[in-house]
Amino acid sequence: MNRLAVYCGSATPADPRYVPLARATGAALAERGIGVVYGGGTRGLMGALAEGALSAGGEVIGVIPEALAATAEVANHACTELITVANMHERKLRFTDLSDGFLTLPGGVGTMDELWEAMSWAQLGYHTKPVGLLNSFGFYDGLVAFNRTMAETGFVRSVHQNIMLVDTELEPLLDRMIAYQPHRPIFAMAAEEL
């Protein structure tokens, strides 16, 4: 993996564990020689992620929509490269095009949108890249349980149940992402398999 799209919150939670987690993740990726593609902001976990990667000598590519880039002090001009795009749809497409996989840290609605799109696109066959979820501090326990419920109910086919790779620690999660073997996408299935 040369680059990972990293999804995380632009907010700074009151809980003091999250910002250092993002900063340490950025640094760990840089130390592994993995570049970061992220939302291009300076705030919250996003800013800490970029700061951690840059301070460790890593590549950081920010992809930010025009509306946010125009907002004072939001766009991170310290990035290795800052790409301004027209909208959120174009942003997510750039994340996919520029990365070799997707890593999700704690975040809010935007982070969930990005994670579910990466999973949906993998399930369909728009990409064959690993989708990792770092479940630090049990933040995503409910989401992991919900994903399991969707699978148990039959809304996620058995062949797609392991698209989302989950771990509570970054290093074993990265190892699993590197070893990821793509599944059979919906686009390659016969009608009777659907």
CA distance 173 to 171: 5
**Could you report the per-residue pLDDT of 126-157, keeping only the tens digit for each?**
999 999 999 999 999 999 999 999 999 999 99
CA distance 4 to 34: 7
- The whole-number pLDDT of residue 55 equals 98
What lies within 8 Å, CB to CB, of 46 at 6+ separation is 8, 9, 10, 22, 38, 39, 40, 76
φ/ψ (deg, to 5) at 93: -65, -40
3-state secondary structure 90-113: HHHHHHHHHCCCEEECCCCHHHHH
CA distance 193 to 74: 46
- The whole-number pLDDT of residue 191 equals 83
Percent of the chain with pLDDT over 70: 99
Asked whether residue 160 carries a pLDDT value surpassing 80, the answer given is: yes
Q: How many Cα atoms within 13 Å fall on the side-chain side of residue 106?
A: 25
3-class secondary-structure state, position 56: coil
Percent of the chain with pLDDT over 90: 90
3-class secondary-structure state, position 179: coil
CA distance 164 to 115: 9
Residue range 118-123: average pLDDT?
A: 96
Residue range 172-190: average pLDDT?
A: 93
| Structure confidence at residue 48 as a pLDDT band (50, 70, 90) | very high
Q: Which two tokens stand for residue 177?
A: 């992402």
Residue range 104-131: average pLDDT?
A: 97
Nearest to 103 by CA among 146, 138, 144, 135: 135
Asked whether residue 190 carries a pLDDT value surpassing 90, the answer given is: no
Residue range 36-50: average pLDDT?
A: 97
Nearest to 61 by CA among 85, 32, 88, 83: 83
Nearest to 6 by CA among 29, 117, 20: 29
Asked whether residue 31 carries a pLDDT value surpassing 80, the answer given is: yes
The residue assigned the tokens 């070799």 is 100
- The whole-number pLDDT of residue 72 equals 64
User: Higher-confidence residue: 79 or 69?
Assistant: 79
Residue range 102-128: average pLDDT?
A: 97
Mean pLDDT over the full length of the chain: 95
- The whole-number pLDDT of residue 65 equals 94
Q: Which domains does the chain have, with CATH numbers?
A: 3-193 (3.40.50.450)
CA 75 to chain centre: 19
- The whole-number pLDDT of residue 70 equals 83
pTM equals: 0.95
Q: Which two tokens stand for residue 194?
A: 């659907």
Residue range 66-90: average pLDDT?
A: 91
